[in-house]
Structure 1
């Protein structure tokens, strides 16, 4: 995949997963082995989508970005900072905001798609909205996104 590709296709599960070791200081139990494959990265580097898998083990995860996960196979028990445990399996998803922490217990294996995004500070978002609205009012910007993106 090059940065100039407009459309990129991946066939089935035939992607070459790369070693993505979990920080050893975060491992609580076992010897989990994690791998990933970057499916896409935004042109500005603020967002990416990747496949990630991991073998059994228990470990902490500290999020410095917003990450939405969608489980494809396997299962995991995630304990949040309040001590509540959440069981996730195929088809389940979760959002971890930047600055959050969770303890992951991978029972045997888990494979997920992760949608990662660096959060934009609120003042920057406000300024961008103002510029977009002014541009539309002056006829310099295209119409808003299609309805499927409303509320996003």
Structure 2
């Protein structure tokens, strides 16, 4: 019995070390190189599903400035003009930091407002109703926790 447990524990430890080593090699060989100068990255227009737009004619613009080597995390800038009201569907976890402007949000049965300097986290698989009175400029970070993590999170709700 003790020998079986020792073999099992050793197997788990070696598997964890192998996975850690694999991720370290992937990071070193696939990560973006460090910047050696400034890069000007203008925001560009993009379209959303027209059924998401509830009022107004929002002008959506964005630019992605970072993507992790494994594609699970990315960051960027988002801008939208108001007045406009739209529904946003979150495919991944998204945290935002409001740089300029503001928004009134209805999310998961709660209503709140965000202004410059505020931050919030939205979970994958949810949606929020955004009302942008004048305009908003925000930084965003998307993170894909993976199907097992999202499945477990939904079970624990």
Q: Normalised by the size of structure 1, how large is the TM-score? A: 0.72
Whole-angstrom CA distance in 2 between matches of 1:8 and 1:25: 43
Dislocated runs of 4+, deviation >3 Å: 8-11
Cα shift readout 1:31-78 (whole Å, capped 9, x = no counterpart): 001110111000111110000000111000111100000000000001
The structure with the largest alpha-carbon Rg is: 2
Whole-angstrom CA distance in 2 between matches of 1:101 and 1:38: 21
- What stretches of structure 1 of length at least 5 have no aligned partner? 124-152
Instruction: State whether residues 75 and 110 of structure 1, in contact with CA within 8 Å, keep that contact through their aligned partners in structure 2.
Output: yes
Residue in 1 that maps onto 2:87: 60
Pairwise mapping of residues 30-45 of structure 1 onto structure 2 (< 5 A)? Answer: 30-45=56-71
User: Does the C-alpha gap of structure 1 residues 4 and 87 become closer, same or farther in structure 2, counting only changes over 3 Å?
Assistant: closer
User: Does the C-alpha gap of structure 1 residues 95 and 109 become closer, same or farther in structure 2, counting only changes over 3 Å?
Assistant: same
Instruction: State whether residues 30 and 58 of structure 1, in contact with CA within 8 Å, keep that contact through their aligned partners in structure 2.
Output: yes
Residue in 1 that maps onto 2:100: 73
| Structure richer in helix, relative to its length | 2
Residue in 1 that maps onto 2:114: 88
Instruction: State whether residues 60 and 81 of structure 2, in contact with CA within 8 Å, keep that contact through their aligned partners in structure 1.
Output: yes
- What stretches of structure 2 of length at least 5 have no aligned partner? 1-30, 151-157
1:26 to 2:52 alignment: yes
Shift of 1:16: 1.1
1:117 to 2:121 alignment: no
Shift of 1:81: 3.3
Equivalent of 2:75 in 38, 41, 49: 49
Superposition RMSD in Å: 2.3
- Aligned positions, number: 120
Q: Normalised by the size of structure 2, how large is the TM-score? A: 0.70
